[in-house]
Amino acid sequence: MKAEDLIHQVEDVAVAVVPENIEDQNGWMVYLVNLKNNSLENVIVSSKGYGEIDNRNLKTSTLRHFIEKIEPHAFSKIEPIMEDVFGLANEYWVSFYINKTIYDKKFVFLPESIQENNFVTIPFLNKKGVMIK
C-alpha cells in the first residue's frame, strides 16, 4: 500500500486567526474549527513561521500541540500569535483521526494576509478573523 493511500483529503476543517483580548491585552489567537458532522480525534498541530522581513531570512520555532478531541461544529484554541510574525508565512500542519482514518493538511497564512480587510465571520466562534479552509 502506498503512503498516499493512507492519507485522505481534508474538507470542512479550518484554521482561523482572530483578534482577541488575551490576559487584558490586545492580541491574536489561532483556532482550529471543525465544520464536520464528525468529531476530530487525536489532533496534532505543528506550527511555524518562515520568510523574509527587512531583507533578512527569518524562521520561528516549531511548536506542536495535541488536542484529544474536537466535537462536530466546534472549535479549539491552538495558540496565541504575535503581530510581529504577520509578515512571515505562518504554517499550521494539522493531522487528525476520524473513525481510525488519518487526515492531514497544511494551512498557510501568506505574509501580510492576516489583516482586517480579509476578515470573515468565523463559524461557531461568532468572531471576525482570517480563516483558511
CA 29 to CA 13: how far, in whole Å?
A: 17
Q: Please tell me the class of the 3-132 domain.
A: mainly beta
Segments of the chain scoring below 70 in pLDDT: 1-7, 22, 24
List, for residues 71-103, the tens digit of each pLDDT value.
999 999 999 999 999 999 999 999 999 998 999
Provide the whole-model pTM.
0.91
Which pLDDT belongs to residue 25?
A: 74
Which pLDDT belongs to residue 4?
A: 55
3-state secondary structure of 78: strand
Which pLDDT belongs to residue 89?
A: 98
CA 96 to CA 88: how far, in whole Å?
A: 26
Which pLDDT belongs to residue 7?
A: 62
**Residues 116 and 72 sit within 8 Å (Cβ to Cβ):** no
Instruction: Kindly list the domain boundaries of the chain, sorted by start residue.
Output: 3-132
